[in-house]
Structure 1
Amino acid sequence: MHKLLQSLEERSDVSESDPTRVGLVFDRVTSASILDDALLFDPDLASVGGTELDAAASSYQRDDLSHLAANAVRIRRLAAQRLKLVLDANPDQHLKLKTEVTRKTRFTPVRRLLSDLPEVMLSAKPVWAMSPLQVSRLLPLKESFDLVIFDEASQVKPADAIPAILRGRQLIVAGDSRQLPPTEFFTKTLDDQDDGIDEDATLDSVAAVETAPRRMGSMTRDAESILFAMDRLLAGQSRRLLWHYRSRDERLIAVSNSRIYDRSLTTFPAADTPDAIAHIEVPPSPGIDGGTNSPEKEVSEVVNAVRAHALAHPDESLGVIAFGVKHQHRLEIALEAAFQEDPTLYATLNQNEAEPFFVKA
């Protein structure tokens, strides 16, 4: 430790030009020392190479996919077991439902079925997807669901949302306040979706609003959407989702990310675009001890590529993967010399503290 501190003190290029680099160099040397010690004294780590790591990663991917498939089977089995228990515990409801299924005409409205056969209906169909106004017309006005989820909540008015909220024990509101505001789409199309709806049933939105807690009423006043109202109610405790992974090419979201989201979204580059992978052919040159390992021109080309990236994309992170520890060390020495020659290069590459520049084998 004393030798390390003395070496840092003697290197004026580190301690004077950029004092923050002292801590980075210290962390790097310490981490490398711990790794070397582990590789030296732990035979399990020392025997692990790239082939073993690739095999472990492939095994994890297979197990993960199998786990997802098994979860789907497990959920279906649990739902079937629960339905069987509910049918056995409610024979009258079971009989009425079987009678309803065999009908050819004069079907009982869904609203009445849910009122008469609540346990059986919700066990047979535990997940319901409906528009807010369909909730008011089809579902009885009582707490029926464990969880109510609003998707695209920026398009749902508070008055339309409250009836659905009253029918659940928990609530999740998901949406984007920078997307479309509420529209009249569902109101205009509701008359076209009257199949199976009780003609005598009336919208309970007004009644629901009148029975809602007064605090909720104050929070929804002047609120454009239920998303805005809930954000106001939670007083800034909302959670943002910042990873955008739906675009096959991140350029599709680039303009929105820059002009609407202030570059706060994390996007992922496409792997099938012409510029995703570039091949740079380097002329042969001697490597370590005159051999082919870590050729000098290849090291120089990597340093040039790092410089070019820093100039062309200063706001993007960068990592260098070396084929072998010896090649990694030569790259680190060459890059260290480049950093001493141009201190701004180091600062540019490490301005993102969450994703600092790295060289790894």
Structure 2
Amino acid sequence: MRSQKISFTNQHDIGLAAYLDLPDHGTPRHMALLTHCFTCSKQLKAYRYISQVLTEHGYGVMRLDFTGIGDSQGRFDDTTLLTNVEDVIAASDWLTTHHQTPALLIGHSLGGIAVLSAAASLPGCRAVAVIGTPDEPHDLHRLLSSDHTLTDDPARRAITLGGKRFELGPQLLDSLRDHNMTARLAQLQRPLLILQAPDDDTVSLASALRLFTAAQQPKSFIALDGCDHLLNREQDARHAAALIVTWARRYLEPDTGTVQLMADHHPGKISVRLGHGHYLTSINAAGHVLNADEPRSSGGGDLGPSPYQLLCASLGACTAITLRMYADRKGWPLDAIQVILHHDKVRTEGTGKVIAADVIQRVIELRGALDATQRQRLLEVADHCPVHRSLHGTITVNTILTD
């Protein structure tokens, strides 16, 4: 992705800093605004990974620093939830003037509360996604007002996060105590996606579920299994971003979200859909949904198996199923089957030209008290599985272009 630092001012003439991330090629199809967690900043690695995934699928992304955080001006101890909301609106105004109105708002933790509160004031916002966001900031208020070091001013508190000291003014503490999230959700009137790690030790699963219960339809909830609050692992951040991309497509690209898949009407058939993303593909195989993609080396996002990997998976699954059926029919002690496959293009020279041949290496592991004769017979059976026979036979593909 292409990244650049930008700056603009909010309604109080305080300078705000942000990164603007754009796709490597072309004009963004949609703009997204990403807001950070409490005392985090736009430079958190997880946000860069999230932005990379979004830009790979045609988004432009602004990663914003709230007032007093990161490279933005102002004093953090003078901020409130309201100033965060004002910063979101200022960022949206800048994007609208210089690019396009952000259609997707993404907020992490306390940043989620900011985008949920700002969305109703942004007519161009069409969907909101939050990660690790509490239903009410009351718990954070209690934590900050009772368990941390006092400053010289009894109305202020000081905390140390990531080795950095932050002073909290009474305005922020009061806004955390008084904020009414239920009222904000009633005003949202936007599709909402809530992503929450069940093992998050900062925002509880129960809090996220209460947020989901209080929200109005349309709404979705996805558990981020094995993730922490800050999405510290790259694969966790990318996974969360991929889920957001897939979910948002239904609302930002209604042509792909409302057209029913062919497989829904014709059981046994497969429907494959690809929009403007590079190259995340949605597959509905007779009601079973999965994704395909290309590796990053080929311009994709590596968010699903490649087409050739799916081909190998088909052969591997057919091999294992055929062996299981045969062994069960014979009553042989076959406990487990593992099939490992790899596809490659092998180029050979012949008759004055280079020929590229497809080669699939298939390694079969059989576990169980099988004798040598049984193992040899199962090896022979593997070459007769239906997909294997199709690959070695004559395949006719009839292609029809429809309106």
TM-score w.r.t. length of structure 1: 0.26
More strand by share: 2
Higher relative contact order (CA 8 A, sep 6+): 2
